[in-house]
Amino acid sequence: MQKFILNKNDAGQRLDKFLSKSLKGIPLSLLYKYIRKKRVKVNGKRAKENQLLEAGDVIELYIPDEFSKTEADVSEFDKIKAAPVVVYEDSNIIICEKRPGMLSHTGDKSENGAAAIPERDTLIFLIQAYLYKKGEYDPEGEASFAPALANRLDRNTGGLVIAAKNAEALREMNRLIREGGVDKRYLCAVHGKVTPREATLGGYLFKNSKTKMVTVYKEPRQGAKEIITSYKTEKYSKEKDLSLLEVHLETGRTHQIRAHFSSIGHPLLGEGKYANNKDDRSLGYKYQALYSYRLSFSVDSGPLAYLDKKVIEADRNNIPFLKLF
């Protein structure tokens, strides 16, 4: 028999979700069979797969030992010498700057070559190692939870990324992002002088799941989703014919900023997917000049209410393309 005693981070999730994360290599079909056959008990009673768990619950498993608890390997954390660039941190969340070229996590199949990137080279692994060394994350003491990202950025986009230190904070931050409680602002450098200096762009974005690219149309198309992108021009370099824009996404679609500005004839500096960046590469810009530089929070209540009206900004000295203006 195996036994789990749930802590606060395990609470609030379904039994089947908890077990699928906590047990090593168990097929879902077999897991559901064990639950139906009463080989999984919660607090000594028959369990249901959709049962919501609470802190302090005792789960007993009468299943083969081959499906044992997933053991944490902390040896890789000890090997990590680098540390994330921390912009803000409290007991619930940590906000870091991701450098262009770094993958947020290995689970992002939309990024080319993601499967070939070692987990230890991702931002989330760096954050977990940092918290482990601080004594704020104990992998061996957690049955199912690990610090996780609440938002992500494309590999070649830099900027602010939010991670949650506990399950409650992760659920709440995900809710805030979903319901518009987190306002994100981006800086980007685009080719040409954008007119007017400030505007809201509309369009319809279609994502090709095979090519991992998107297309922006002016009119509705079957399978395309509406997009709204607002911008204002901060600076224009006549010498380089580049505009520095602050961008706000009214909708958050895949590659929205990159594809939208390319569609109106102002591709981002360094853009390699939606424009030819051969000349930009000769200038040293192999990544698109796009940076998530500002986060502001609107929180009415809940465990993260203290973040209400808080504004977090990246260090502009870390944004390489700003030196062009």
Query: Six-digit token pair at 179?
Result: 């319901």
Q: Could you give the 3-state DSSP secondary structure of residue 259?
A: helix
- The residues facing 31 across adjacent strands are none
Q: Mind listing the domains of the chain with CATH numbers?
A: 2-61 (3.10.290.10), 75-179 (3.30.2350.10), 186-292 (3.30.2350.10)
Q: How far apart are CA 54 and CA 14, in angstroms?
A: 10
Q: Supply the mean pLDDT for the chain.
A: 91
Q: What is the pLDDT of residue 116?
A: 54
Q: How far apart are CA 293 and CA 184, in angstroms?
A: 8
| 303, 70 contact by CB (below 8 A) | no
| 124, 164 contact by CB (below 8 A) | no
Q: How far apart are CA 157 and CA 103, in angstroms?
A: 9
CB neighbour burial string for 211-228, b if at least 16 within 10 angstroms, e if fewer: eeebbbeeeeeeebbebe
For residue 133, the number of C-alpha atoms closer than 13 Å in the C-beta half-sphere is 16
Q: What is the pLDDT of residue 75?
A: 81
Q: How far apart are CA 174 and CA 170, in angstroms?
A: 6
Name residue 203's amino acid. G
Alpha-helical (H) ranges within 166-273 are: 167-178, 256-263
Residue-wise pLDDT tens digits, 288-325: 999 999 999 999 999 999 999 999 999 999 999 999 99
106 contact partners, CB below 8 Å, separation of at least 6: 114, 115, 117, 118, 119, 122
For residue 35, the number of C-alpha atoms closer than 13 Å in the C-beta half-sphere is 21
Phi/psi of residue 138, each to 5°?
Answer: -115, 95
Q: What is the pLDDT of residue 160?
A: 98
Alpha-helical (H) ranges within the chain are: 15-22, 28-36, 75-79, 123-134, 167-178, 256-263, 278-282
Q: Is 259 left (phi over 0), alpha (psi -120 to 50) or beta?
A: alpha
Q: How far apart are CA 259 and CA 212, in angstroms?
A: 12
Show pLDDT as tens, one digit a residue, over the chain (325 residues). Answer: 888 888 889 888 899 999 988 887 888 999 999 999 999 999 999 999 999 999 999 999 998 877 877 666 678 888 888 899 999 999 999 999 999 989 997 765 545 555 556 677 899 999 999 999 999 999 888 888 999 999 999 999 999 999 999 999 999 999 999 999 999 999 999 999 999 999 999 999 999 988 889 999 999 999 999 999 999 999 999 999 999 999 999 998 999 999 999 999 999 999 989 998 888 887 788 889 999 999 999 999 999 999 999 999 999 999 999 999 9
Query: Six-digit token pair at 274?
Result: 């939606």
